[in-house]
Chain A
Amino acid sequence: MSLDTATVRRVAALARIRLEEEEVARIQGELNGILGWIEQLQAVDTEGVEPMAGGTPEGIAAMPMRDDVVTDGGIAEKVLANAPDREGAYFGVPKVVE
């Protein structure tokens, strides 16, 4: 499968990464190189194989559940301390709704 330039632009838009027009061809080449290389997985017979979704070595541990309770809070100042822009106790962003 090889990406055309429209797909490269669409993927960049989905990833919310601005792409300069003059970069499209180079990135297209790099992505197609990597995708062509990973294409070899199609040769593996995976019929009936359960996908491994996490990193825990299978059968070793099940994911624990914890109580559905509040464990922290009241730290708005800490949460906002690194914000590039804030208005009072809120993060500041450009106007979203006219």
Chain B
Amino acid sequence: MRPTDFTLAGAIAALGEGALSAEELTRAHVDAMEALNPRLNAFITTTPEQALEAARASDARRARGDGGPLEGIPLAIKDLFCTEGVRTTAGSKILAGFVPPYESTVTSRLKRDGAVFLGKANLDEFAMGSSNLTSAHGGVLNPWSRRNDPEARLVPGGSSGGSAAAVAARLALGATGTDTGGSIRQPAAFCGIAGIKPTYGRCSRFGIVAFASSLDQAGPFARTVEDCAILLRSMAGHDPRDSTSAERPVPDFAAACGRSVKGLRVGVPKEYRLDGTPPEIERLWRRGLEWLREAGAEIVDISLPHTKYALPTYYIVAPAEASSNLARYDGVRFGLRVAERDSDLRDLYERTREAGFGAEVRRRIMIGTYVLSAGYYDAYYLKAQKVRALIARDFRQAWEKVDAIVTPATPSAAFAEGENTDDPIKMYLNDVFTVTANLAGLPGLAVPAGLDPQGLPLGLQVIGRPFDEETVFAVGAAIERAAGFAALPAIRAGVPG
């Protein structure tokens, strides 16, 4: 078996049995990364030497009888997580030259548990996008291609597009992502892998470049639901350095993947049946519910009446928070500075921010600035916060009737570069099924469940109660078992290009 074909759980077992060393496992992934990253552009920064050194240190720990739960497992890290001594770009020019003097809590926990970092994965600039095309470091190629149009360059989704592409193409066994409106679940669905955004507060946000602080959550990508569960256990947990991180014990999420769904009530929200959804997505959704029924779950029709207001609410709340968070990029303390000889301080700010931010980021900062400005705050921002409360209330009422909710993950399969770019709102609609979980702070998992007629992966989403990722994993794993998703992307480690 090629080391890059292991699942993460399989690799942990193989390392434990001594079937291969961490160095061999990392070497195979480094080789795959060096062979395929020039095509995929999944990594902005690769750190092969550090990875091999960390793998050797892992082998030494194992030989001494030490070792964490992720001992020797090679991962990709979204380039939104600060990594001590390794440049962190957030996919933006404005962080040019920034080398964090500290490590994010999530990545420090992964390291504590023995993980090996291969490099920093590409993303939409400041995690703002659904295609990875807003990255200042260029787009990422989705390793999957259309059957009847194999030359079309498909996007991996976004914002965590590099993380998803790296895992799908077998350059990494797993990856970190962040999800503010769908940035883990949409790229996971587009790339045929699993990814979970946990409950708001489950993972510390300390050391993650902030986009919209009341919506941002870190989460893992992997090729199986169980692998995501293993990673999340290491990533999660209370952190005094993030006041919104929850003081709750972290359960054994992987154990929950084996739980039966018998007797669980699974909700189907009628508002997620949208006009214009491709028939294959409707079919996949029905099939997913049928699988769960066969496994003993009860399917219950529910209503989430404010669903259609979720995206417009998001596009007030997220830009408002972003305009505030991104005020720190001023050309003074870190990153890019652009100034003329006679620039005063204000001109320095304005030139730096014009040159450093891409078009989508500038657009969102301006929308956010406007909705927070005097005279418009109540009409836009306060109104959006109230509608957000109604969206959260819809879910609270649903939890009286159901234990989990199943929906499609995305309204389409991966699209090609150049599609959906003529109008910003068209791109925003990609998150129509995912953004509600961010607004309500709920866990949401994307699981690959089938293929469209073009041979592209499609995913289903499982949403759960606050801090009940265990039920989400149980339902997701049941879908995964029934789907038997075994299709592989055209571009992957070990396949001659």
Contacts and interface: CB of A to CB of B under 8 A. Distances in A.
Interface of A: 1, 3, 7-8, 11-19, 27, 30-31, 33-35, 37-38, 40-42, 44, 46, 49-58, 60-61, 63-64, 66, 75, 78-79, 81-85, 91, 93-96
B373 A11 contact: yes
B337 A52 contact: no
B200 interface: yes
Contacts of B240: 66
Interface in B366-383: 366-367, 369-370, 373, 376, 379-380, 382-383
Given A33-B424, A41-B316, A55-B244, 19 more contacts: A15-B365, A16-B349, A31-B367, A34-B367, A41-B380, A44-B309, A49-B390, A51-B382, A51-B385, A51-B388, A54-B214, A55-B214, A55-B216, A60-B441, A61-B246, A81-B101, A83-B334, A91-B332, A91-B333
Contact of A17 (B214, B313, B347, B365): B365
Contacts of B102: 78
Contacts of B363: 27, 30-31, 34
Most chain A CB neighbours (cut-off 10 Å) among B369, B370, B382:
B370
Contacts of B327: 16
Interface residues of B, number: 78
B487 interface: no
B243 to A, nearest CB: 6
Contacts of B367: 31, 34-35
A80 B212 CA distance: 26
Nearest to B349: A16
Given A14-B369, A15-B365, A84 B332 contact: yes
A75 to B, nearest CB: 8
Contacts of B259: none
Nearest to B241: A71
Contacts of A41: 309, 312-313, 316, 380, 383-384, 387
A53 B214 contact: yes
Contacts of A8: 366
Contacts of B344: 94-96
B442 A57 contact: yes
17 contacts: A17-B353, A17-B362, A34-B425, A35-B370, A37-B315, A40-B312, A55-B214, A56-B201, A60-B201, A60-B441, A63-B243, A64-B247, A78-B101, A82-B97, A83-B332, A84-B336, A93-B345
Interface in B237-266: 240, 243-244, 246-247
B181 to A, nearest CB: 12
B390 A44 contact: yes
A11 B332 contact: no
Contact of B389 (A3, A16, A49): A49
Nearest to A96: B345
Contacts of B347: 18
B143 interface: no
Given A51-B382, A82-B334, A15 B392 contact: no
